[in-house]
């Protein structure tokens, strides 16, 4: 069964909001074997919404909209549903009670405007929303399923997880989809393709793609088959070949992230980590600790943005900064040595660089970053030449530092 | 003139990649008075792409696609263009030279697969890409403009900024669009609407919307008018009324962020800031320093994830942690007092909390966070009751702490 997702809202088509709902929903649907084939976004415009709804119902089996179900005036999805499905809105007392109860639990008085949310198209099923006041709407008619969800991501997510997916799972005839994602870092897409393309045969039932992102390039394999065994084995045989061809660049698979892989390596070894950051100013520590349970191996970090803080918090000799500059291999190494000496962790990581937009020189242009990793086995450092963009430089430095750490842990074994 | 944006790629409709290109492009187009009215996403599927391209050319004046122009096999946009526009691909030597030169500059050998990128549909214009090898393609025909851009965000962005926008600016008849965004924090959407809806009259030429996000709720005003003066004045009169109604929640406008507003306040006053973070572990420091030039007021921060690090780096008395717990108002206040005493900044901010998913108790469930701000005028602290989601709790804590800091700076004046 094919699915079309429709995202509604001026904020989405004008680019004032990033549409993360359709991303989340597509992934959850894929897990139960449902394919999204179109995604459409349309503004808060009755006529265009109507047209888009009609087209979707025509070309897809399941249509899921997000947005336009909130309590405020610009939320008009229900009006379009009434028009397209030729139904009246009916006031449902039980929904109002439910919404009232939720506000009570949170200790907030329910604004009277929220009463609108208890109006539902006749014959529609209501999808409860544990976390907030907006409810989802489901209409099943002539073999098609139409679902309208609120646009606030955490509300949409809750309804999808707790109501929609269980409902659809009972309804759809599943063809099994097996997805494997091999995550690489430290190599560009075309260089990967040069190693892979001439040496990989992909069967017709499998789709293979390169997906570049900040952290590196993901290699994604999607196999579809009538049963789980065939799907798994088709995808796995492509994955095995890829591991042979470019395994040295693969840091993890599927939901692995560099930070979760590092967390696993450190936990298994009972080892600890501290970090010292200049240009990334906390982003590395923040990324490392995005893993639940990271307190088992991450104990502290320092953000040494100024020269003085590098001297005071890390014991970097002033002379090194004067001679080589705060952004230098020597300073990065002194930072990480001081860090481990002062705070006694098994691994230390440091980052210092010129994130931009200002501060570059001919010798060290914007995007010049030094990273260093220290352990009982010594210090390793690396110079990066990144971009002119401040945020890209900061993010990439974090990933490059994590990759240097990961390789060092493995080499130390 | 109406625009349709088309995002191409299995990774987008399956939800493996967030489509940020269409967000960026829509914003840039709005600035030159071009309206995006539809956004469509479609997988790497020749037939569906063809159908979506045809439909877009029919219903929009300008069609811009992203994705499917890379060097690898799954990139098939050109094949669809050839089919839809009935043109052959022609090899263009000058583009190849250009691509080769770019690889040389970066000191990377050009993989031969990149030669494919020098193939262009006959009669098409090529949009150069300063940063990388993929080029854009532009076809102008029968009053319609069709543009294909690569899918990698930084490549798309460069071509849009340097080639596409200047090209379109010369071509389009502009109706003036004025956008004002008032940014609020610390109040939910429906409570805002209750204050605003009964008291605000919006003229027909103006569209008004509430846009909730992690940092708060944005109030967006879009006025369209035949000339700049009318547009500006229509939008401004709505903004003025909103400032009267809910001004106390507005922290900034348009591109302002809490971190940029704080940066401005501190710079103007010549004051400095240090931070001490437990559960957010560097994310506050990272957010503060996302502002270029933040080194003028931000000097250092500490990530005190463990109890020991709170004692050693901040001088928090062990007794306080034992008696009240690491997540408590007392610890948050001791952290920020120790921070300012040790590091002598004008302002200090601390965060300690239970981000989850584990670690909650009946008294302090997951989502309990304490934030504190210290200055020469004393210490202020606040208890937050957030969600069950680790990442949401960390992000919201950062915004709540920044807002407490902003209000404190203003009150201290």
**Chain A residue closest in CA terms to B59:** A48
**Which of A253, A280, A295 corresponds to the end of one domain?**
A253
CATH of the domain at A341: 3.90.950.20
Q: How many CB atoms lie within 10 A of CB A357?
A: 13
* Contact: B16, A220; criterion CB under 8 Å: yes
* Contact: A10, B48; criterion CB under 8 Å: no
* Contact: B18, A18; criterion CB under 8 Å: yes
Option in A210, A282, A389 nearest B72 (CB) = A210
Option in B114, B281, B392 nearest A190 (CB) = B114
* Contact: B394, A114; criterion CB under 8 Å: no
Segment B135-159 shows an average pLDDT of: 89
DSSP, collapsed to helix, strand or coil, labels residue B352 as strand
Same domain membership, residue B288 and residue B195? no
Those residues with Cβ within 8 angstroms of residue A89's Cβ, 6 or more apart along the chain or in another chain: A78, A82, A119, A120, A121, A122
Structure tokens at A245: 């061809």
Strand locations in B250-367, DSSP E? 250-253, 273-277, 298-304, 347-353
Question: To which H or E segment does residue A77 belong?
Answer: helix A77-85
* Partners of residue B45 in chain A, C-beta under 8 Å: 37
Option in A10, A300, A306 nearest B306 (CB) = A300
Helical ranges in A315-388 per DSSP H: 318-324, 329-343
CB contact at 8 A, B271 and B256 = no
Option in B37, B48, B300 nearest A48 (CB) = B37
d(CA B97, CA B94): 5
B20 DSSP assignment? -
**Which of B253, B270, B302 corresponds to the end of one domain?**
B253
Residues in chain A where the model's pLDDT stays below 50: none
CB contact at 8 A, A396 and B331 = no
**Which of B206, B230, B253 corresponds to the end of one domain?**
B253
Option in A10, A133, A197 nearest B207 (CB) = A10
Give yes or no for residue B299 having a pLDDT over 80.
yes
* Contact: B302, A305; criterion CB under 8 Å: no
Q: For B114, what's the count of Cα atoms within 13 Å in the CB-facing half-sphere?
A: 22
* Contact: A222, B10; criterion CB under 8 Å: yes
* Contact: A305, B299; criterion CB under 8 Å: yes
* Partners of residue A12 in chain B, C-beta under 8 Å: 39
Of these ranges, A10-24, B140-154, B269-283, the one predicted with the greatest mean pLDDT is B269-283
CB contact at 8 A, A299 and B306 = yes
Same domain membership, residue B368 and residue B244? no
Query: Would you call the peptide bond into A360 cis, given omega within 30 degrees of 0 as the criterion?
Result: no
Query: Would you call the peptide bond into A47 cis, given omega within 30 degrees of 0 as the criterion?
Result: no
Give me the residue label for tokens 């010292």.
Answer: A276
Instruction: Give the pLDDT confidence of B174-218 residue by residue, as tens digits.
Output: 667 788 999 999 888 889 999 999 999 999 889 888 887 778 899
* Partners of residue A222 in chain B, C-beta under 8 Å: 10, 14
CATH of the domain at A83: 3.40.980.10
Same domain membership, residue A327 and residue A200? no
What pLDDT score was predicted for residue B106? 67
User: Predicted ipTM?
Assistant: 0.75
Best residue in A34, A305, A307 to probe B by mutation, most B CBs within 10 Å? A305
Question: To which H or E segment does residue A120 belong?
Answer: strand A119-121
Query: Among A44, A106, A112, A111, which Cα is nearest to A75's?
Result: A44
Option in B25, B113, B154 nearest A392 (CB) = B154
* Contact: A133, B40; criterion CB under 8 Å: no
d(CA B347, CA B336): 9
Segment B254-275 shows an average pLDDT of: 96
d(CA A5, CA A27): 12
d(CA A360, CA A340): 29
Question: To which H or E segment does residue A218 belong?
Answer: strand A216-225
* Domains: count for chain A: 3
Best residue in A12, A39, A217, A366 to probe B by mutation, most B CBs within 10 Å? A39
What pLDDT score was predicted for residue B74? 56
Give yes or no for residue B234 having a pLDDT over 80.
yes
What is the least distance, in Å, from the CA of B13 to any CA of chain A? 6
Structure tokens at B27: 């914003």
Give yes or no for residue B264 having a pLDDT over 80.
yes
Instruction: Give the pLDDT confidence of A270-319 residue by residue, as tens digits.
Output: 999 999 999 999 999 999 999 999 999 999 999 999 999 999 999 999 99
Q: Looking at chain B, how many residues does it have?
A: 413
* Contact: A25, B15; criterion CB under 8 Å: yes
Phi-psi region of B344 (alpha: psi -120 to 50; beta: other; left: phi over 0): left
d(CA B201, CA B222): 14
Instruction: Give the pLDDT confidence of B360-379 residue by residue, as tens digits.
Output: 999 999 999 999 999 999 99
What pLDDT score was predicted for residue B133? 59
DSSP, collapsed to helix, strand or coil, labels residue A259 as helix
d(CA B120, CA B77): 11
Same domain membership, residue A225 and residue A342? no
What is the least distance, in Å, from the CA of B36 to any CA of chain A? 6
CB contact at 8 A, A138 and A124 = yes
Instruction: Give the pLDDT confidence of B58-108 residue by residue, as tens digits.
Output: 999 999 999 988 766 556 898 899 999 988 888 888 888 887 877 777 677
For residue A316, what are the domain limits? 258-412
Structure tokens at A356: 């931009």
* Contact: B23, A26; criterion CB under 8 Å: no
d(CA A271, CA A73): 55
d(CA B413, CA B401): 19
**Chain B residue closest in CA terms to A36:** B13
Distances (CA, A) of B276 to A23, A263, A390, B350: 34, 23, 24, 5
Strand locations in B278-345, DSSP E? 298-304
* Partners of residue A282 in chain B, C-beta under 8 Å: 277, 281-286, 289, 301, 303
CB contact at 8 A, A248 and A363 = no
Same domain membership, residue B150 and residue B287? no
Same domain membership, residue A235 and residue A111? no
* Partners of residue A45 in chain B, C-beta under 8 Å: 37
Same domain membership, residue B154 and residue B217? no
Question: To which H or E segment does residue A180 belong?
Answer: strand A176-184
What pLDDT score was predicted for residue A265? 97
Give me the residue label for tokens 């005003």.
Answer: B221
Same domain membership, residue A240 and residue A130? no
Same domain membership, residue A334 and residue A269? yes
What pLDDT score was predicted for residue A273? 97
Option in B154, B181, B305 nearest A299 (CB) = B305
**Chain A residue closest in CA terms to B7:** A39
* Partners of residue A305 in chain B, C-beta under 8 Å: 285, 289, 294-295, 298-301
Instruction: Give the pLDDT confidence of B98-124 residue by residue, as tens digits.
Output: 878 777 776 777 877 777 778 888 888
CATH of the domain at B199: 3.30.70.2860
**Chain A residue closest in CA terms to B222:** A10
Same domain membership, residue B116 and residue B211? no
d(CA A108, CA B184): 19
What pLDDT score was predicted for residue A66? 95
Option in A17, A43, A286 nearest B286 (CB) = A286
* Contact: A207, B71; criterion CB under 8 Å: no
**Chain B residue closest in CA terms to A30:** B14
d(CA B217, CA B186): 8
Strand locations in B9-118, DSSP E? 35-42, 62-66, 89-91
d(CA A169, CA A173): 8
What pLDDT score was predicted for residue B166? 87
Same domain membership, residue A204 and residue A156? no
* Partners of residue A395 in chain B, C-beta under 8 Å: none
Option in B13, B188, B284 nearest A26 (CB) = B13
Same domain membership, residue A52 and residue A91? yes
């Amino acid at each position: 069964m094919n699915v079309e997702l429709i995202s509604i809202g001026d904020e989405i088509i004008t680019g004032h909001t990033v549409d993360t709902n359709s991303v989340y929903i597509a992934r959850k649907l894929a897990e139960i074997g449902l394919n999204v084939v179109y995604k459409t976004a349309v503004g808060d415009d009755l006529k265009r919404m109507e047209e888009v709804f009609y087209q979707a119902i025509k070309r897809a089996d399941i249509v899921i909209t997000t947005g336009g179900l909130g309590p405020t005036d610009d939320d008009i999805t229900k009006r379009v549903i009434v028009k397209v499905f030729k139904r009246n809105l009916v006031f449902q007392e039980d929904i109002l009670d439910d919404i009232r109860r939720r506000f009570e639990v949170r200790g907030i008085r329910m604004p009277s405007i929220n009463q609108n949310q208890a109006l539902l198209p006749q014959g529609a099923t209501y999808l409860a929303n544990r976390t907030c006041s907006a409810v989802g709407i489901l209409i099943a008619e002539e073999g098609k399923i139409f679902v309208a969800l609120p646009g606030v991501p955490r509300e949409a997510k809750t309804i999808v997880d707790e109501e929609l997916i269980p409902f659809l799972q009972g309804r759809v005839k599943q063809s099994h989809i097996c997805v494997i994602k091999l995550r690489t870092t430290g190599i560009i897409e075309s260089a990967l393709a040069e190693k892979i393309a001439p040496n990989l045969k992909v069967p017709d039932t499998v789709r293979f793609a390169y997906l570049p992102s900040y952290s590196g390039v993901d290699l994604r394999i999607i196999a579809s088959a009538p049963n789980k065994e065939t799907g798994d084995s088709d995808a796995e045989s492509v994955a095995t070949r890829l591991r042979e061809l470019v395994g040295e660049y693969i840091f993890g698979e599927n939901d692995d992230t560099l930070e979760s892989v590092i967390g696993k390596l450190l936990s298994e070894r009972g080892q600890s980590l501290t970090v010292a950051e200049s240009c990334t100013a906390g982003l590395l520590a923040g990324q490392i600790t995005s893993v639940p349970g990271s307190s088992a191996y991450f104990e502290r970090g320092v953000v040494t943005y100024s020269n003085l803080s590098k001297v005071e918090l890390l014991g970097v000799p002033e002379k090194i900064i004067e001679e080589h500059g705060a952004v230098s291999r020597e300073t990065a190494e002194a930072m990480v040595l001081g860090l481990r000496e002062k705070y006694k962790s098994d691994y230390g990581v440091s980052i210092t660089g010129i994130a931009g937009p200002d501060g570059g020189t001919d010798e060290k242009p914007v995007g010049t970053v030094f990273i260093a990793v220290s352990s009982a086995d010594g210090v390793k450092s690396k110079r990066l030449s990144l971009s002119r963009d401040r945020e890209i430089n900061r993010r990439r430095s974090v990933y490059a530092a994590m990759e240097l750490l990961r390789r060092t842990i493995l080499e130390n074994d």
